[in-house]
Structure 1
Amino acid sequence: MNDLERLVRLAARAVGRHGLAHAYGHCSARIDAERFLVCTPVPMGHMPTDAHGTVVPLDGPLPDGVLGEVRVHREIYLRRPEVGGIVRSMPPKIMSLSTLGKTPRPRHGFGSYFFPSIPMWDSPLLIRDDEKAAALAEQMSDRPAIVMRGNGLVTAGESLEEAVVLSWYAEDAARIELDVLASGGGEGGPMITREEAQARATWSGRILERMWDYLTFGDTEI
């Protein structure tokens, strides 16, 4: 458990350090088929090195002190046994783009990981009940991410490292989309094709590891 607790702390600080979250947001890692570990409810960039997080069961109520939207993590883990880590973040470009009713389109390499698009949960309200959390998880389905209109992003990966990297990729895809819109390009321009996405959205060649190293560089727990 000590290694998993350290991983959760590293992930939280990486998300905060790179501007993907501020006072709000949380991340978690699966322990086993029945439990996951969610980070301590403090600003992720300020995560203490002695924080232990909270173990959350998949089949019961949220433990005392756990943030209400952590029920989104629970519903995703319940439906997707392949998921090992989840990040709930507030990336600024994702937020801006979502207020236009848009999510990033697959225009560049990092966008290919979300082909053909990132779905949008079309509500800016916080998810504080089980019914809405389950509905969001159902809409997300087997996708790596879902945007919450005016309310941030959820990413899910086979590992927490992957979920963190996907958060950065999604924000970069939103940056590209906003740049295209600002240039007057509108909805035009070439998109990544299905065949290109299948070839480009790979983790081989230490792609995941190199981005994780970049995002965690300088952390005192490395």
Structure 2
Amino acid sequence: MTELGPLRTSVADACRVLAARGLADGILGHISLRIDERRLLVRCRGPRERGLAWTTAADIRLVDLDGEAGAPGELDGGYRPPNELPLHTEVLRTRRDADVVVHAHPPAVVAADLAGIAIRPIVGAFDIPGTRLAAGGVPVHPRGVLVRNRELAAEMVVSMGDRPVVVLRGHGLTSAATTVEQAVLQAISVDQLAALSLRVVSAGGTLRDLPAEDMAELPDLGAGFNTDTAWRHELARLERSAPGPLVQPATRAP
């Protein structure tokens, strides 16, 4: 399915961004992209698994909601969907506002949650999209299990509600959005807020939410800056650290 080539590369680059940002160290974590009502592209496990930092377009395979090959040959060569595919498919089944699911294991997010520190809007212009996301609330799923079946995934979806991100206790986070870029950038924002919170508390400080009057002054800089420019920066970081085939954000197949 050659027409999916740019989308496969886009998902692969996003996996590498997660790793470069420290949100998915080692071999854990994955990203999926809805293609149609029954099929999605997802990072699969392959015979030469090296972790997210070395993801290639060949690792991004088309599967259906039940984990079967989405087209002939898609799972040939020893490829198989991740064990937590239900984490992705249950979000896509139930959230019509989401076409992309990111699952990562950011250590700072896990540590902050285990320390009883919620993700809160503690900054202002430092990260405007992240501040707005946190102000809306970041729920926590209280189970630290491998989300390997629909029943466990359904519990996570309930915890997530209608929010774009949910923290998974003792596990990581799940981020959902309409685009690959937005879903990854949301995860990065939550990770940054968690890391800052840990540093403030470790220094003996007290976490305080941004005052309402300051929140009201934060401008919406628009998707052209918040998403497009931010994503070009993330791809440039990859080029600097590990040159490879990068593409501009690809639109979802109809």
Could you say what the CA RMSD is over the residues aligned between the two structures, in angstroms?
2.3
Structure 1 counterpart of 2:151, one-letter code: E
Asked if residue 95 in structure 1 is aligned to residue 110 in structure 2, the reply is yes
Aligned partners of 2:231, 2:186: CA distance in 1, in Å?
A: 10
Aligned partners of 2:86, 2:115: CA distance in 1, in Å?
A: 27
Pairing of 1:129-144 with structure 2 (within 5 A): 129-144=149-164
Structure 2 residues not aligned, in runs of 5+: 69-74, 247-254
Q: Sequence identity of aligned pairs in percent? A: 25
Secondary structure of 2:44's counterpart equals coil
Residues 122-131 or 7-16, more deviating: 122-131
Aligned partners of 1:199, 1:91: CA distance in 2, in Å?
A: 27
Pairing of 1:76-155 with structure 2 (within 5 A): 76-108=91-123, 109=128, 110-155=130-175
**Alpha carbons 1:28, 1:73 under 8 Å: kept:** yes
Which structure has the larger Rg? 2
Q: TM-score, normalised by structure 1?
A: 0.88
Q: TM-score, normalised by structure 2?
A: 0.78
Aligned partners of 1:118, 1:201: CA distance in 2, in Å?
A: 20
Deviation at 1:78? 0.9
The superposition leaves residues 100-152 of structure 1 with CA deviations (integer Å, 9 ceiling, x where unpaired) of 23331111232322323211111222122211101111221211100011100
Alignment CA distance shift 1:192-1:214 (3 Å): farther
Pairing of 1:125-204 with structure 2 (within 5 A): 125-187=145-207, 189-191=208-210, 193=212, 196=215, 203-204=222-223
Alignment CA distance shift 1:197-1:37 (3 Å): farther
**Alpha carbons 2:119, 2:190 under 8 Å: kept:** yes
Residues 149-158 or 41-50, more deviating: 41-50
Structure 1 residues not aligned, in runs of 5+: none
Secondary structure of 1:206's counterpart equals helix
| Residue 220 (structure 1) aligned to one of 231, 238, 244 | 244
Structure 2 counterpart of 1:129, one-letter code: N
Asked if residue 55 in structure 1 is aligned to residue 60 in structure 2, the reply is no
Alignment CA distance shift 1:177-1:25 (3 Å): same
Alignment CA distance shift 1:192-1:35 (3 Å): farther
Secondary structure of 1:102's counterpart equals coil
Alignment CA distance shift 1:190-1:66 (3 Å): closer
Aligned partners of 1:19, 1:194: CA distance in 2, in Å?
A: 33
Secondary structure of 2:63's counterpart equals strand
Aligned partners of 2:199, 2:147: CA distance in 1, in Å?
A: 30
Count of paired positions: 218
